[in-house]
Structure 1
Amino acid sequence: MNLLLDIARGAAALLVFLFHIRDALVEPLPVLAAMVSFGSLGVPMFFVISGYVISASAEATLRRSETAGSFLKRRFMRIFPPFWLSIVVVVAVPYLVAAVSSLKSGVFEMPDPRFLALTGGDWLGLVTLAKVFGTPDGDLQAAFSPVNSVYWTLAIEFQFYLCMYLALLARRYFHLLIGLVTGASLLLIARPLPLDAGWFIHYWPMFAVGIALQYLLAAGWGVERWVPWRARGLAAAVAGGVFLGVLVLAYRGTLGQVLRGVFPSIELGFAVVCALLLWLAAPSGSALEAHRDRGHPVLRWLLKPAAYLGVISYSVYLLHGKLVQLPAMVVRQVFAPSNPLNPLTCVLLTLALCGLFHLWAEKPFMSKRQRAINEKVLES
């Protein structure tokens, strides 16, 4: 399942990336631009995957009789050091762009980025992710946009970790507490209360979908339980059909209408669809790993980059919107904006830069267990 989850995580990061550069895709790649118009739904995908992975990690913590503190420490190191180092990169980008521009014009124009207007209190709220609370009109992206708008999701993510940590402290009642929080979050959908938009409880149902998927598969309630014969092929075919249906609805611009018509929100609806796809694809996980290791060369060429994208997905998510400015300056000197190679080359070069950031600023803070998992995912 690790390879499957990494492919899904990489797809979510790429979806958000393409959504943020969709204006540059309209002329050279109009079909792709239409399909990624709902690319912000990559965030619910991340929440579902996180719900799955973190609940599995919490269960492992209980089985191994590890402390709740060890669980929180791993999660803290996974989120905060790369996040802090990404701020350094993001702050440096406007000046790097100005320096590269000066090479052509011969004049260095000092940039005036929005983050220069932030106060000391603003920066403290940013680096602690506390800036997510008390946002005007509940616009969480706006609270972080002077530096990097995607940071708001990290605040929600870490609140989720804290909730799991508190439940782990009461080891005997872990499952009861998770169930109570899930029930409370569902009640808030039915009967909304005027709570601060920055609280995790608003997003918990999406995490809960991933948590439910993890327990469902752990209990042996996978597709093969109902379709024992050729379950892998049948489930993969159904998953492919659902995926194609989502792409068609996105291209036609009706995805939001369909999800809103069935679920309380587009985000929760897409989270359920993502969980369904993972549930259907789960029996194919071992087959994917076999193809990656010993399959046809073409399949291996496709699976290895997809797995790598999943491994560096956090770095991609943190930096894509800002780092893309650097390769874009170079690429537009080679390919016209109307040339499909322009955005494709920009994306590939940005992913390469994010890969370097992962190597230098993310991987060193991973636990040995996580590094071993990633190496297994990428091994030949």
Structure 2
Amino acid sequence: MSSANTNTARYELLDPLRGVAILAVMLLHFSERGRESGDDLIHSYLWPITQHGYLGVQLFFVISGYCIAAALYGTLNKPQPFRYFMMRRFRRIFPPYWISIVLVVMLGFATIFILNTSPDVVFPLTPFDWLCNALLLQGPLHAVDANLVYWSLSIELQFYLVMAIALFWPKWTEAWLIMFSIVCLALNCFADWPLWGTVVVYWPEFLCGIVAYYWITGRMRWKWTPGYLVGIVIFQIVLQANQYEVLVQENGRLVQPIKLLFCLSCMATLLALRYYDQSIARWRSARCLAFFGIISYSLYLTHVPIGTRIFNLIDRLLGLDGLKWLACGLAAMVICTIFGWIFFRWFEKPWLNPPAPSPTTDTPKALPEGVAS
């Protein structure tokens, strides 16, 4: 058993969990190409498993809820806490993100000139779409994403803003979270407004991570806060469950109540494994997953544009049926991992926030708070 102090926010297993999440997302995107090949092995046996890789998104959001809650409470005693908090988030997210947009554009022009592809096919975006992508506003403004994974970063940015508002009234942080959670509950269950692309839809996922932070560190002013917040998530599951007659949608994805149950299970896993945190983190498999977790943001930003070109090239040369797709998929995983590591070293690591000094070590490592697909 670990002898770690379970009242601190430092949680070594978050990196391996990020690794699980990014690998699930990559398998989803890469296996989609195999499903298109019509191969029975892939369609009948592999795809039914990998098609749920989008749950890596939910896991990323839960982890982000935990880490941003820790960052928020680590900022309370800073001068100008709102500015300090948002500047760290900006520095952490935007520079690598903008560089990834440059990568998308460069690869797009290469496709146009080498393969003689129409620019309208490669870049089906308007100037407004590009502006929204540059500012991470494509979610709430319903603009087209330059990279299909960017939508979740827009959700992340909105989440940061919601959390940062609490810094204006530090003593009422929990009251703000409870009030916002109730508003999101009402909007998700009763409003007919178009909420797609807003943090309102995904707030319960983040909330599961916030609750895990409260229960692990005990930093709440009101002891009943975590139970109350969990109750809101459960209440939304019950209310939304009545809106569905099936568990799986036509596109093969689980309905929202099942996704929220998955997030609650992620929260429960964080709580259950906390005491064994450092012991499990020393396992070889955990260290391997931690490597993917550390570079998960860079992998997240680059695996689609890089992987897409790999699949397109192999498809033109050899085709993607059966074992050829499996070999191409493995090659894409390896090449994208290598490229993601290089991207991390050159374009992400220089912008990593240094750990904020804290006598209680209550701030986690300066690693990706959360990303999703």
Task: Name which of structure 1's ranges 23-32 and 48-57 shifts more when overlaid on structure 2.
Answer: 23-32
Query: 1:42-86 CA deviation, whole Å, 9 max, x = no partner?
Result: 111111110010001111112566622111101111111111111
Q: CA deviation at 1:322?
A: 1.4
SS in 2 for 1:132: coil
Q: CA deviation at 1:10?
A: 1.6
In the alignment, is residue 366 of structure 1 matched against residue 365 of structure 2? no
Q: CA deviation at 1:282?
A: 2.0
**What is the identity, as a one-letter code, of the residue corresponding to 1:348?**
V
Query: 1:125-172 CA deviation, whole Å, 9 max, x = no partner?
Result: 22112222243xxxxxxx334x21211111111011011111112222
Verify the 8 A CA contact 2:155 2:199 in the aligned structure 1: yes
Aligned to 2:258: 266
Higher relative contact order (CA 8 A, sep 6+): 2
Cα distance 1:327–1:199, how it changes in 2: closer, same or farther (>3 A)?
A: closer
- Tell me how far apart the structure 1 counterparts of residues 329 and 65 of structure 2 sit (CA, whole Å): 32
Q: CA deviation at 1:337?
A: 4.5
Aligned to 2:64: 50
Q: CA deviation at 1:284?
A: 2.2
- Tell me how far apart the structure 2 counterparts of residues 116 and 190 of structure 1 sit (CA, whole Å): 36
* Consecutive unaligned residues in structure 1, runs of 5 or more: 103-107, 136-142, 222-253, 292-298, 376-380
Identical pairs, percent: 30
Verify the 8 A CA contact 1:25 1:32 in the aligned structure 2: no
For residue 302 of structure 2, the aligned residue among 282, 299, 319 is 319
Aligned to 2:24: 15
**What is the identity, as a one-letter code, of the residue corresponding to 2:68?**
I
Q: Which has the higher helix share?
A: 1
In the alignment, is residue 287 of structure 1 matched against residue 291 of structure 2? no
Cα distance 1:255–1:314, how it changes in 2: closer, same or farther (>3 A)?
A: farther
Aligned to 1:338: 322
Q: CA deviation at 1:219?
A: 2.2
Cα distance 1:328–1:319, how it changes in 2: closer, same or farther (>3 A)?
A: same
Aligned CA RMSD, in angstroms, stands at 3.2
Count of residue pairs brought into register by the alignment: 316
Q: CA deviation at 1:345?
A: 2.1
Aligned to 2:155: 156
- Tell me how far apart the structure 1 counterparts of residues 167 and 308 of structure 2 sit (CA, whole Å): 42
SS in 2 for 1:324: helix
Query: 1:238-259 CA deviation, whole Å, 9 max, x = no partner?
Result: xxxxxxxxxxxxxxxx9748xx
Aligned to 1:242: none
- Tell me how far apart the structure 1 counterparts of residues 264 and 161 of structure 2 sit (CA, whole Å): 23
Aligned to 2:135: 128
Cα distance 1:111–1:268, how it changes in 2: closer, same or farther (>3 A)?
A: same
* Consecutive unaligned residues in structure 2, runs of 5 or more: 1-9, 221-245, 357-363, 368-373
- Tell me how far apart the structure 1 counterparts of residues 262 and 157 of structure 2 sit (CA, whole Å): 21
For residue 5 of structure 1, the aligned residue among 14, 20, 25 is 14
Cα distance 1:189–1:326, how it changes in 2: closer, same or farther (>3 A)?
A: closer
Cα distance 1:334–1:116, how it changes in 2: closer, same or farther (>3 A)?
A: closer
SS in 2 for 1:36: helix
Cα distance 1:82–1:114, how it changes in 2: closer, same or farther (>3 A)?
A: farther
For residue 76 of structure 1, the aligned residue among 90, 109, 114 is 90
Aligned to 1:278: 270
- Tell me how far apart the structure 2 counterparts of residues 24 and 197 of structure 1 sit (CA, whole Å): 26
For residue 307 of structure 1, the aligned residue among 278, 284, 290 is 290
For residue 35 of structure 1, the aligned residue among 49, 52, 69 is 49
Aligned to 2:107: 93
Cα distance 1:276–1:255, how it changes in 2: closer, same or farther (>3 A)?
A: farther
- Tell me how far apart the structure 2 counterparts of residues 211 and 338 of structure 1 sit (CA, whole Å): 43
Task: Name which of structure 1's ranges 169-178 and 329-338 shifts more when overlaid on structure 2.
Answer: 329-338
- Tell me how far apart the structure 1 counterparts of residues 30 and 157 of structure 2 sit (CA, whole Å): 27
Verify the 8 A CA contact 2:355 2:365 in the aligned structure 1: yes
Verify the 8 A CA contact 1:134 1:196 in the aligned structure 2: no
Aligned to 2:125: 118
Question: TM-score, normalised on structure 2?
Answer: 0.75
Q: CA deviation at 1:315?
A: 1.3
SS in 2 for 1:288: helix
- Tell me how far apart the structure 2 counterparts of residues 31 and 284 of structure 1 sit (CA, whole Å): 34
